């Protein structure tokens, strides 16, 4: 599997390009501000063809370039219906004052030509990859994670890769103080959709460095607090 990731724009939101290998179709995940040149560079270097743009949520730092990227490659954009309105009104995900200050001006937004909606538990077959969608509200109402099996006999033992968006970071979790945020929902998502994962799942977050479910289960203070509330701990999916 080929996974190329890079931080894009002033908010350093991670954008990922994913394919089964060079010369194949690929997925683009969370193309934020200034991500289009980075996507183009990865695509050209590995001779890839983007066929879908997957969005973990609708915040502007993750969706800024979705329309130009989808339009350039005639790709389908995928987003959860609860965040779809943010494609045309991303300031709805921020306070009005902070949004204008952060963006530094007035902008107009438009949906890509082809937008499809994601559902909890949905299995997508795209670019030769199987992608499992988990609805994980808390950071936004329509936040999702994407899990794809990982099979590389020459590499370390990894069962899957999780693109966690702003649900889970190395050592932390996403904020819930913006419009659409809900701390109780965030804790539920972490309990039901993160702590049930296998320890060997690699986590590629929306910001910062990669981590793993096992590392976060052992060291992340938010997950440790959740585990402390479970008398017998949580069973892990697939174990």
Q: For residue range 49-79, what is the model confidence (pLDDT) as tens digits?
A: 999 999 999 999 999 999 999 999 999 999 9
| pLDDT for position 232 | 58
Q: Is the pLDDT of residue 157 over 80?
A: no
- pLDDT digit string (tens) for 172-220? 999 999 999 999 999 999 999 999 999 999 999 999 999 999 999 999 9
Gap between the Cα atoms of 18 and 3, Å rounded:
5
Q: How confident is residue 106, by pLDDT bands cut at 50, 70 and 90?
A: low
- pLDDT digit string (tens) for 21-47? 999 999 999 999 999 999 999 999 999
Residue that the structure tokens 């697939």 belong to: 238
Q: Does some domain include residue 234?
A: no
Q: How confident is residue 92, by pLDDT bands cut at 50, 70 and 90?
A: confident
Q: Give CA 209 to chain center in angstroms.
A: 13
Length of the chain: 239
Q: Does some domain include residue 109?
A: yes
SS3 category, 199:
coil
Contact in structure between 230 and 192 (CB atoms under 8 Å): no
Q: How confident is residue 104, by pLDDT bands cut at 50, 70 and 90?
A: low
The domain that holds 61 is classified in CATH as 3.60.15.10
Q: Report, as an integer, the average pLDDT of 79-100.
A: 81
Host domain of residue 104 = 2-228
Q: Does some domain include residue 18?
A: yes
Q: Is the pLDDT of residue 97 over 60?
A: no
pTM above 0.85, yes or no: yes
Please say whether the dihedral angle defined by the alpha carbons of residues 111, 51, 147 and 204, taken in this order, is positive or negative.
negative
Q: Is the pLDDT of residue 113 over 90?
A: yes
Q: Does some domain include residue 84?
A: yes
Gap between the Cα atoms of 175 and 182, Å rounded:
9
| pLDDT for position 237 | 47
| Beta pairing partners, 53 | 28, 77
| pLDDT for position 108 | 78
- pLDDT digit string (tens) for 132-146? 999 999 999 999 999
Closest CA to 60 of 20, 112, 99: 99
Q: Give CA 99 to chain center in angstroms.
A: 21
Gap between the Cα atoms of 15 and 40, Å rounded:
12
Mean pLDDT over the full length of the chain = 91
Q: Report, as an integer, the average pLDDT of 88-110.
A: 70
Contact in structure between 112 and 53 (CB atoms under 8 Å): yes
Gap between the Cα atoms of 149 and 86, Å rounded:
29
Gap between the Cα atoms of 29 and 16, Å rounded:
5
| pLDDT for position 238 | 42
Closest CA to 216 of 194, 187, 193: 194
- Domain count along the chain: 1
Q: Does some domain include residue 237?
A: no
Q: Does some domain include residue 158?
A: yes
Q: Is the pLDDT of residue 155 over 50?
A: yes
**Number of helices and strands (H, E) in the chain?**
7, 14
Q: Does some domain include residue 239?
A: no
| pLDDT for position 154 | 66
Q: What is the DSSP letter of 235?
A: P
Q: Does some domain include residue 36?
A: yes
- Dmax (CA) for the chain in angstroms is 52
Gap between the Cα atoms of 57 and 84, Å rounded:
9
Provide the phi-psi class of 216: left if phi over 0, else alpha when psi is between -120 and 50, else beta: alpha
Q: How confident is residue 235, by pLDDT bands cut at 50, 70 and 90?
A: very low
């Amino acid at each position: 599997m080929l996974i190329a990731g890079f931080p894009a724009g002033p908010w350093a939101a991670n954008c990922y390009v994913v394919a089964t290998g060079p010369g194949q179709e690929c997925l683009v995940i969370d193309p934020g501000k200034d991500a289009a040149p980075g996507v183009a560079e990865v695509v050209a270097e590995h001779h890839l063809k983007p066929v879908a743009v997957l969005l973990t949520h609708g915040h502007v730092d993750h969706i800024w370039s979705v329309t130009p990227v989808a339009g350039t490659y005639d790709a389908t954009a995928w987003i959860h219906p609860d965040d779809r309105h943010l494609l045309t009104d991303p300031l709805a995900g921020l306070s009005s004052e902070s949004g204008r200050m952060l963006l530094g001006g007035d902008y107009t937004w438009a949906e890509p030509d082809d937008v499809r909606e994601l559902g909890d538990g949905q299995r997508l077959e795209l670019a030769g990859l199987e992608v499992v969608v988990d609805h994980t509200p808390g950071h936004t109402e329509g936040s999702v994670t994407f899990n794809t099996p990982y099979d590389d006999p020459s590499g370390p033992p990894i069962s899957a890769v999780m693109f966690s968006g702003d649900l889970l970071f190395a050592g932390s979790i996403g904020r819930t103080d913006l419009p659409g945020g809900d701390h109780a929902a965030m804790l539920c998502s972490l309990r039901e959709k993160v702590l049930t994962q296998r320890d060997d799942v690699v986590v590629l977050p929306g910001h910062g460095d990669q981590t793993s479910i096992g590392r976060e289960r052992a060291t992340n203070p938010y997950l440790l607090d959740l585990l402390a509330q479970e008398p017998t701990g949580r069973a892990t999916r697939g174990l």
